[in-house]
Amino acid sequence: MKRKRTYSRRLVFAVLLVLMVLTFLAGVVVGPVHIPISDALSYLLRRGISADGSPSVFYLIISQIRLPRVLLGLLVGCALAISGGTMQGLFRNPLASPYVLGIASGASTGAALVMLMNLHGVFFLPLGAFVGGALAVGIIYRLAQERGKKTSVYTLILAGVAVGALFSAVTSFIIFLSSGTERMTDLIFWIMGGLVRANWTYVCVLFPIVAFGSLVLMAFSRDLNALAVGEEGAFHLGINPEMSKRVMLSVVTLLTSSAVAFAGTIGFVGLIIPHIMRLIMGPDHRFLLPATAIAGAIFLVWADMAARTVVRPAELPVGIITAFLGAPFFLYLLKAKKARM
């Protein structure tokens, strides 16, 4: 039986790019206040100067609320999805995601601590998250490296669950400490994951991180392919598996932590999106990772649009939406035995 790869890679990328443009526009148009597409386009193109020369309400909504939110959604979705694709490749296991190894839990704890201490300055949040995430990965990696023996993926994942639970407990404790203050509500909503607090500063901080991280991961996609034939096999292909793994794990930690810092814990994007893209275009990471990045960005913006509109005028945390969509789909994949991919 020949493996079906119905769509050429070029076509997939073309479709993804078109979808991303459409998604971007939709993200600007959809929301509690309906903005006609023609107005949206003209404001975007003419920088929102209305006939009388003053910024209109629409313009303010677009430039101050919708645009940063859509852009943050694209960046966070991209970061989570490409991290997931990389983790699955590293562990040669389609069940891996940025959240195994407790990265997200560690990052949450770090970010929550920063919020608790009321540290101001936009860099503190991702920094705290990164320190927390790196701590979690570091602990697990040290555990795994014991006595030079190879550690099975299952040991790693189990250790990840345990360390994740530990960090979650710390986060809960931080929330408990902040009880009675306004910060507690902030923290709880932040943990549930959402793009509510999107602003231009977040976008400006996150953009270089995501751009840099994604580029590095794509540069290592060749190594990921080689690692698919095992670490020794990769070594015979001229790859230094230990070095590659460390670089990729560090970058994944950076991307995931930054996403968590600005958007809280948004689950399932990093698990589902790489999975679907692998079904569509095969496992070659040189094409899979960029496609996954774009698809993740698209998916998160749509999830956020749903979060904004389902219980209008209130908003749902987007993490609820992704879990609602992602979990059943994932179970379906498991059932369909396509999880073997």
Partner 1 sequence: MDITIERLHFSYNGKPVLQKITLNVQKGEILAIVGPNGSGKTTLLKNISGVLTPDAGVVYLDMKRVTGLSPRELSRCLTAVEQEHEVGFDFTVREVIAMGRIPYQGRFAKETTKDAQRIREAMELAHVTSFANRSIRELSGGEKQRVFLAMALAQDPRVLLLDEPTTYLDINYQLQIMKIVRQQASAGLTVLMALHDLNLAAQYADRVAILYRGRLLAIGSPVDVLTKANIKQAFHADVVVGKNSVTNSIYISTVPQRLKAPTSLGKLHIICGGGSGAAVLHALADRFSLSVGVVSPLDSDFQVAQYLGAKLVTEVPFAPISTRAYEENLAIMRSSDGVIICETPFGSGNLLNLRAAVELESKTNIYVLNPEGIKKRDYTGGQATKLIRQLVRSGAVPVNGLGALKRRLISGYYNTDCDINRQSEPSESAPKAAAGR
User: Given the rule CB under 8 A, which of 24-32, 117-125, 178-186, 227-235 is the region that contacts partner 1?
Assistant: 227-235
Q: How far is Cα 181 from Cα 165, in angstroms, rounded to an integer?
A: 25
226 touches partner 1 by CB under 8 A: yes
| In the complex, minimum distance from the CB of residue 151 to partner 1, in angstroms, rounded to a whole number | 16
Write the binding mask 44 to 83 for partner 1: x where contact by CB under 8 A, - elsewhere.
Answer: ----------------------------------------
Q: Within 10 A of 150 (CB to CB), how many other CB atoms are there?
A: 8
Number of H helices, E strands in the chain: 15, 0
Torsion of CA 190, 196, 199, 204, to 10 degrees: 60
55 upstream amide cis, omega within 30 of 0? no
Total number of residues that touch partner 1 (CB under 8 A): 31
- With respect to partner 1, which residue has the nearer C-beta, 89 or 194? 89
Least Cβ distance, residue 227 to partner 1 (angstroms): 7
**Cβ at position 282, least distance to partner 1 in Å:** 7
Residues 6+ apart with CB under 8 A from 17: 294
| Neighbouring residues of 106: CB distance < 8 A, sequence distance ≥ 6 | 132, 133, 134, 135, 136, 137, 163, 164, 167, 257
CB 49 within 8 A of CB 263: no
| Sign of the four-CA dihedral 324, 136, 259, 189 | positive
Measured from the CB atom, is 55 or 283 closer to partner 1? 283
Listed ranges 87-95, 135-143, 289-297, 318-326: which one lies at the site for partner 1 (CB under 8 A): 87-95
Crossing angle of helices 9-29 and 285-309, rounded to 10°: 20
Q: Is 9 among the residues that bind partner 1 (CB under 8 A)?
A: no
Which residues between 234 and 253 bind partner 1 (CB under 8 A)?
A: 235-240
Phi/psi at 55 (nearest 5 deg)? -65, 135
Place of tokens 């560090």: 250
Query: Which among 194-202, 213-221, 295-303, 327-335 is the span making contact with partner 1, rule CB under 8 A?
Result: 213-221
230 binds partner 1 (CB under 8 A): yes
Neighbours of 185 (CB within 10 A): 11
Binding-site member from 72, 111, 227, 301 for partner 1 (CB under 8 A):
227
First to last CA, the chain: 16
Q: How far is the CB of 223 from partner 1 (least distance, A)?
A: 9
Pick from 48, 68, 77, 89 the residue near partner 1 by CB under 8 A: 89
Position 233, amino acid: G
Q: Is 280 in the site for partner 1 (CB under 8 A)?
A: no
Q: Which range of residues in 22-30, 173-181, 225-233, 312-320 is near partner 1 by CB under 8 A?
A: 225-233
Minimum distance from residue 290 beta carbon to partner 1 (Å): 11
The verdict on 276 binding partner 1 (CB under 8 A) reads no
Residue 287 touches partner 1, criterion: CB under 8 A:
no
Residue 226 beta carbon to partner 1: minimum distance, rounded to whole angstroms: 6
When computed from its CA atoms, the radius of gyration of the chain, rounded to whole angstroms, is 20
Task: Summarize as ranges the residues that interact with partner 1 (CB under 8 A).
Answer: 1-3, 89, 92-94, 218-220, 222, 225-230, 232-233, 235-240, 278, 282-284, 340-341
